[in-house]
Amino acid sequence: MIADCSALILAGGLSTRMGVDKTSLEFEGQTLLQRAIDRMRDIFPEVIVSVRAHRNDVDLPQVVDETVGGGPVAGMCSGLAASRTPWLFAIAADMPYADQATIIRLAQYRSDDFQAIIPVVNGHPQPLFGFYRTEALPIFRSVLAGNGKRSLRSALSQLQVHWVDEALLRPGDPELRSFTDLDTPADLDLIRKD
């Protein structure tokens, strides 16, 4: 259990490329959202679900985006504001292979010197599989309210970030499957064939 950290499952996306609500898709007998909830409950004392509108099928605390159309930044703002712990682990609901050991390994890189701990896989930052200090909320709110791009990358550019190379995460997840996300029906078909 990572006692000083809450988990935020981002489940408020529009799923436009998938064509249906991704979080309701079934994989290995569970919806993607329930799969994420079960995995996060095992390692965090508090689990929050970020949604566009309240969902009756979720029995956990829910936060609704502070700004309509604000994307993941809006979800992060609501989650950081609701968290009762100094750290928040943010994860997208469409990552069916999120490995608990990999999350725990990533948590070891947290320190007072950083506001975010973000893995870099195949040269790409993975902000929706990362740890954030709740004190970073004002920066996220500034990005959300600004006239510029409302992106997680924009927020990260203003934070003190510890970038964690994929090589440090491979011991527990050799193929880095934790970072597989599902954006299209083809992505879903591919993992169902595995």
Choice between 13 and 158, residue whose per-residue pLDDT is larger: 158
Q: How large is the angle between the packed helices 137-145 and 71-82, nearest 10 degrees?
A: 150
Domain count for the chain, please give it: 1
- 22 annotated as a binding-site residue: yes
Q: Evaluate whether 94 touches 182 at the Cβ level (below 8 Å).
A: yes
- 112 annotated as a binding-site residue: no
Give the domain range for residue 133. Answer: 5-193
Tell me the CATH number at 37: 3.90.550.10
How, if at all, do strands 46-51 and 5-10 pair? parallel
> Is a pLDDT exceeding 70 seen at residue 193?
no
Residue 18: which pLDDT band, with cuts at 50, 70 and 90?
Answer: very low
| Closest to 140 in 3D by CA, of 11, 118, 132, 163 | 132
The mean pLDDT of the chain is 89
- 65 annotated as a binding-site residue: yes
> Is a pLDDT exceeding 90 seen at residue 16?
no
- 12 annotated as a binding-site residue: yes
176-to-105, 125, 136, 151 alpha-carbon distances in Å: 13, 13, 27, 24
pTM: 0.92
**Residues β-bridged to residue 162:** 117
Most confident of 42-46, 66-70, 143-147: 42-46
Quick count: other Cβ atoms within 10 Å of Cβ 188? 20
> Is a pLDDT exceeding 60 seen at residue 170?
yes
